[in-house]
A and B are shown apart, each in its own frame.
Chain A
Amino acid sequence: MALEVESREEIVDERGNEVSELVINVGPSHPSTHGVCRVITHLDGEIVTKAEPVIGYLHRGIEKMAENRTYLQIVPLTDRLDYVGSMYSNWAYCRAVERLAGIRVPERAEYLRVIVCEMQRIASHMMSLGSAAGDTGAATMFIYAFDERERIVELFEELCGARLTYNYVRPGGVSYDTPEDWFDTLLEFTRKHRTALHEMDRLFFGNVIARGRMKGIGVLSAADAVGWGASGPVARGSGVNWDLRKHDSYSVYPRFDFDVPTGSNGDAYDRARCRLFECFESCRIIEQAVAQIGEGPFKAEGAPRLLKPRPGEAYDHIESARGSLGVYIVSDGSERPYRVKFRSPAFCNLALLPLLAQGHTLSDLVVILGSLDPVFGEVDR
């Protein structure tokens, strides 16, 4: 199932030579597709002439299911959307619900949300960098990166009891306050994580094989990035300085001092390196947030368990590890939403695959797909 020949057609090129086009099916179960993606690849020799991603292998109908559930019951469903970064889907959904129902969130809860989401960004980028490195054969980098992710998962487990599906951010606040000494463990992690990031930078991004595999592969121009609706590290790797935390600032992000790393070439190398530098910035944000966070409630006082927002609609978006994650909710005044729609950055970024893969070899297709960092729970929803 992994790689198989679909058809072989005899075609004649412009010089009159008989050449054959090979159609190869990659996926839906392939270790380098980062999930259940299928790519129908048309090859001329080893060069990709056309790559069509086929999605929907993980379509679970979450948006439709949300119409049958109360507002609080939808939060666990959002965990299963982007399963590498569950906190983002939680937060984006809760922000839309809070906007719709007019719930004010206490300051400590906002700080806790920022802290967990920046931790989640590090965890997600570690997974992305590791698996992209694994695709190019650098298994050591995968293991080092996954070890860093495991430290964050341990901290999340201490905080909310779950390793992967957290259900932590709720409408009106967060589900638990931090355990004792949790911030100390967190600060120790960020200190060690910086050293690990420098090591990974030398180990992988300074490696001649990684540079050879990723430099100049899948070049995306800034105009194309904006035109195709790319966001997150995929757009920033092409030099588009667009980060919702900075340019449409939400929550308590205006109080922090951080930079938005951008690339210049728009190739797979720049996209991956952008993710690495974002981890440094996330460490900075976490340290500032821990220094600024005060005592207080972690949940809105008197927020009802069964929300019945006024009829209307609300849209809110946050910067997830993959880009702008938006949630649109329509309420008809009942306890269940009339419609919930997720604007998924992974879906928009994956749409770039045919554009980027054209003219590269089949082995580079894997590198390009890895640099787009799709998560298929979010692509298919």
Chain B
Amino acid sequence: MAIVDKLGESLNGSGGGIILTSVDAVVDWSRGHSLWAMPMGTACCAMELIAASFNKFDFDRHGTFPRPDPRHCDVMVVAGTVTRKMAPAIMRLYAQMPDPKWVIAMGNCAVSGGIFYYDSYSVIRGVDEFLPVDVHIAGCPPRPESLQDAVLQLRERITTESIAPGKRHVRELLLPTNGDVSLHENGDRE
């Protein structure tokens, strides 16, 4: 956890309103906390994408706000089946997004083709065949909470990035990632 996540405490301690931190921590903190989403809703999952951003689930509280224009967005949420006819349009929209950019594959269809994996002639088996996917969410469709969890996971992932090319930070992640979940006896994560 970077010092910018505990701004209040840090200011209390230093007295003069000055905190010392690294550039990467500030940049990652600001990037991770306002991930505007490009809602690339192609099929059924788009309904849950809308539900996630509306009043019951309220995406805004995570700093994520759906914008239909790719030029405003940081993260593309591919929600739904990607067909061979639709793929060039998605690739073009991804190219129009400004760097740095991330991709969330929402739902089984975007992850692997899902129910259409075996015997459909027109479905691309997973959006990661042509886009660099950062977070996969399983489900047909996933619940809106899963999508919000994916945004939190992406935020955790962003804290390991550096603005120096090719460099990554080793950080203690709060959310479980692939396989390295370790729990205390009372259930708290290490």
Which residues of chain A (71-128) have a CB below 8 Å from chain B?
A: 76-77, 79-80, 83-84, 127
In the complex, given contacts A29-B40, A60-B81, what are 8 additional A-B residue pairs having Cβ atoms less than 8 angstroms apart? A29-B90, A57-B42, A58-B42, A58-B81, A143-B54, A147-B54, A164-B44, A164-B48
> Is B85 positioned at the interface, with any CB of A under 8 Å from its CB?
yes
Residues of A within 8 A of B119 (CB): 64-65, 68
- Indicate if the CB atoms of B123 and A80 lie closer than 8 Å: no
- Indicate if the CB atoms of B47 and A164 lie closer than 8 Å: yes
Partner of A377, one of B44, B48, B70, B115: B44
- Indicate if the CB atoms of A165 and B42 lie closer than 8 Å: no
Partner of A163, one of B41, B48, B85, B90: B48
Residues of A within 8 A of B121 (CB): 61, 64
- Indicate if the CB atoms of B86 and A146 lie closer than 8 Å: no
A221 and B86 alpha carbons, distance in the complex (Å): 34
A149 and B26 alpha carbons, distance in the complex (Å): 40
A59 and B121 alpha carbons, distance in the complex (Å): 10
How many residue pairs bridge A and B at CB < 8 Å?
Answer: 97
Chain A residues with CB under 8 Å of chain B are: 1-2, 28-31, 35-36, 56-61, 64-65, 68, 76-77, 79-80, 83-84, 127, 143, 146-147, 150, 153, 163-165, 376-377
- Indicate if the CB atoms of A57 and B83 lie closer than 8 Å: yes
In the complex, how many angstroms separate the beta carbon of B113 from the nearest chain A beta carbon? 10
- Indicate if the CB atoms of A163 and B93 lie closer than 8 Å: no
Which residues of chain B (103-122) have a CB below 8 Å from chain A?
A: 115-116, 119-122
- Indicate if the CB atoms of B116 and A57 lie closer than 8 Å: no
A31 and B55 alpha carbons, distance in the complex (Å): 19
Residues of B within 8 A of A153 (CB): 51
A153 and B69 alpha carbons, distance in the complex (Å): 29
A195 and B83 alpha carbons, distance in the complex (Å): 42
| Closest 9 pairs between A and B when the two form their complex, measured CB to CB | A83-B44, A31-B68, A57-B86, A61-B120, A146-B54, A68-B119, A150-B56, A61-B122, A65-B119
